[in-house]
Amino acid sequence: MIIRYFADIRELMGRKEETWTKAVPDMRSLLEGLAAENGSAFGKRVFDGDQLNSTIILFINGRDVVHLKGLDSPLKSDDVVAIFPMVAGG
On the question of pLDDT at 90 being above 60, the answer is: no
SS3 58: strand
Q: For residue 81, what is the enclosing H or E element?
A: strand 80-85
- Enter the pTM of the model: 0.92
Task: Give the mean pLDDT of the chain.
Answer: 94
Inter-CA distances, 57 with 21, 22, 66, 71, 81, Å: 22, 22, 9, 11, 11
Report the pLDDT averaged over residues 13-26: 96
Domain ranges of the chain: 2-85
Topology of domain 2-85, CATH: Ubiquitin-like (UB roll) (3.10.20)
Per-residue model confidence (pLDDT) at position 39: 84
Per-residue model confidence (pLDDT) at position 88: 60
Report the pLDDT averaged over residues 58-85: 97
Which is it for strands 56-60 and 63-64: parallel, antiparallel or unpaired? antiparallel
Q: What's the DSSP call for residue 2? A: E
Per-residue model confidence (pLDDT) at position 87: 75
